[in-house]
Chains A and B, each alone.
Chain A
């Protein structure tokens, strides 16, 4: 059986006059049915580009240089405009960062949800499914009359309106209050379990990922550097970047401790990397890192792109120590 979503050596670049930035650098990634995968990285790591590429929702200046992205075995880059629309409408659901901005401010919520349903269900029922209190009143409201959390639930409702097989959520809770973040994520997770759709979360928030996803892909400079089950990857990171991320955003600091920032700034490539893109910021770099591009290898139940992954795993489990 073909994978639900599969990226094969996908390489994408953004072209602007006199400037070229490589957003995806040969991404190999498979998303199975009925799973939740988090794609984690700093801004500029390519996670949003990868997520949007699933529905070919790329800006005009994006250009595919190599590789492919298949959904149910079909390349999204070969689809006609009509097929692409059908894919987005019936099989994929997208949730964006700012819920207020992703609803039409001039249209009542009920009408927008009805449009997303396309006449195949009841608006109030759908709004109740995303745990909105008083769905009839919400349906009569305009978006500006809702809170951020409520608006995001409406957006989630619209995303699952046609029972898609995958929901792609781009920083779904980044613009929400901390108090409602986890509740919105819990709803997303419950709906995923109910509908057996796959959930792809694009986020920079490792802690949220740890709670709401089964698998995680850590992106750096346009490629996943570590990919595996959340428990393994986050408890025993095998890539120096994952380790650094865990330390930087750990959040489990003891009083008086500060998260340790990753030195340097994220790398943006302009061409396919011939070396390890993380090397300039890596505490464990060796001469070989600047010469040979590390390919993804299977180690200890995960995929890692680092020459010294075994050595890192063999070290003291530092993250567990600081995190416990």
Chain B
């Protein structure tokens, strides 16, 4: 009997590269949990006092209960959902914007390019969390703050890489040929340049996503991101750290799940990069 394709793909991956296979598996499981979370029979995230307060992990409450007697596992699942959703949404928006800006700057060069490159430098100079404090001062803590900070950090990453690849492309024969043939700028950017920078953008996306998750959780940990009663992995850890010595399982479970989530993104990102930008080197003997 032939195994279904996804399983064969995974078995192949496992044989070739276990670390990547583990990353892919973890990422898929966490994403599934995040998407299906509310429909899973793991208990209600919001019902108070379903069990004793701060009780250690048990069969009934695999991650224990929090200070209000809520089962912690469903809360962690909600946290996974909002951490992934918020970071992915912010990074996707930033990637689209950054790709557009970088392409236009790299294609037109001149003054527009200079302005874009300088602005990227300015954004890059802001330490993420201090920028978060400033934005929180201006618009108040919350999702908007988290998304803005992720955008400030990720935008220069995309603009810089897209700009430099576009700069390298514009002198190349096939672009010049398209220009001579009278293709519109839109067509050149969309049909000729975009496919050639897609790889670099994808590689950058995985990095930006992992950085975005770190920023989102750090802001939520500081109380500047996701606000209660909503929960993200960072805000769960913030509450849990109050009871660190009495109920360490709260901090440990949310911290470990958060780290696993970021790590799975990083491992998958590494594999993507190795596949798209391979290096052949020489041995020293």
Q: Do chains A and B touch in the complex (CB under 8 A)?
A: yes
Determine if B285 and A59 form an interchain contact, defined as CB atoms under 8 angstroms apart: no
Mark each residue of chain B from 249 to 285: 1 if its CB lies under 8 Å from any CB of chain A, else 0: 0000000000000000000000000000000001101
For B282, list chain A residues within 8 Å (CB).
Answer: 59-60
Contacts of A59 in B (CB 8 A): 282-283
* A60, B282: Cα distance in complex, Å: 7
Could you say which residues of chain B place their CB within 8 Å of the CB of A313? Answer: none
Chain B CB within 8 A of A81 CB: yes
Q: Which residues of B contact A84 (CB under 8 A)?
A: 285
Residue numbers in B under 8 Å from A81 (CB-CB):
285
In the docked arrangement, what's the CA distance between A299 and B283, Å? 42
- How many Å lie between the Cα of A250 and that of B94 in the bound state? 59
What's the minimum C-beta distance from B17 to chain A, rounded to whole angstroms?
13
Interface residues of A in 38-66 (CB under 8 A from B): 59-60
Chain A positions within 8 Å of B283 at CB level: 59-60
Q: Which of A50-93 contact B (CB under 8 A)?
A: 59-60, 81, 84
Interface residues of B toward A: which range?
under 10
* A84 CA to B285 CA, complexed, in Å: 9
> Which residues of chain A have C-beta atoms less than 8 A from B285's C-beta?
81, 84
Q: Which of A263-279 contact B (CB under 8 A)?
A: none
Category for how many chain A residues contact B: under 10
Give chain A nearest CB distance to B125 CB in angstroms.
28
A60 to B285, CA, bound (A): 10
Instruction: Write the nearest CB–CB distance from B275 to chain A, whole angstroms.
Output: 13
What chain B residues lie within 8 Å of A60 (beta carbons)?
282-283
Give CA–CA (A84, B283) in the complex, Å: 14
* A59–B285 CA distance with the chains assembled, in angstroms: 10
Q: Bound complex: CA of A59 vs CA of B283, how far in Å? A: 7
| Nearest A residue (CB) for B285 | A81
Shortest C-beta distance, B245 to chain A (Å), equals: 53
A95 vs B283: C-alpha distance when bound (angstroms): 19
> From B280, which residue of chain A is reached at the shortest CB distance?
A59
Min CB distance B285 to A, Å, is: 5
A59 CA / B280 CA spacing, docked (Å): 10
Q: How far is the CB of A87 from chain B (nearest CB, A)?
A: 12
What separation, in Å, do the CA atoms of A167 and B9 have in the docked complex? 50
CB distance from A64 to the nearest CB of B (A): 15
Q: Shortest Cβ distance from A78 into chain B, in angstroms?
A: 15
Complex: A81 Cα to B283 Cα, angstroms? 12
Shortest Cβ distance from residue A14 to the other chain B in the assembled complex, whole angstroms: 12
B156 CB to nearest A CB, Å: 28
Q: How far is the CB of A34 from chain B (nearest CB, A)?
A: 30
Instruction: Give the Cβ gap from B281 to chain A, nearest Cβ, in Å.
Output: 9
Q: Distance (Å) between the CB of B259 and the closest chain A CB?
A: 33
Nearest chain A residue, comparing its CB with the CB of B283: A60
Binary CB contact string for chain B from 93 to 110 against chain A (1 if under 8 A, 0 otherwise): 000000000000000000
Q: How far is the CB of A51 from chain B (nearest CB, A)?
A: 16
Nearest Cβ on chain B to A77's Cβ, whole angstroms: 13
Distance A59 CA – B282 CA, assembled complex (angstroms):
7
> Which chain B residue has the least Cβ–Cβ distance from A81?
B285
* B16 to A, closest residue via Cβ: A17
**CB-nearest residue of chain B to A82:** B285
- Which chain B residue shows the least CB distance to A56? B285
Within 8 A of B (CB), among A147-188: none
CB distance from A85 to the nearest CB of B (A): 8
Alpha-carbon separation in the docked complex, A123 to B76 (Å): 69
Give bound CA distance, A12 to B282, whole Å.
18
Could you write out 6 A-B pairs with CB less than 8 Å apart? A59-B282, A59-B283, A60-B282, A60-B283, A81-B285, A84-B285
What 6 A-B pairs come out closest when comparing CB atoms? Answer: A81-B285, A60-B283, A59-B282, A84-B285, A60-B282, A59-B283
Chain A residues close to B by CB (< 8 Å): 59-60, 81, 84
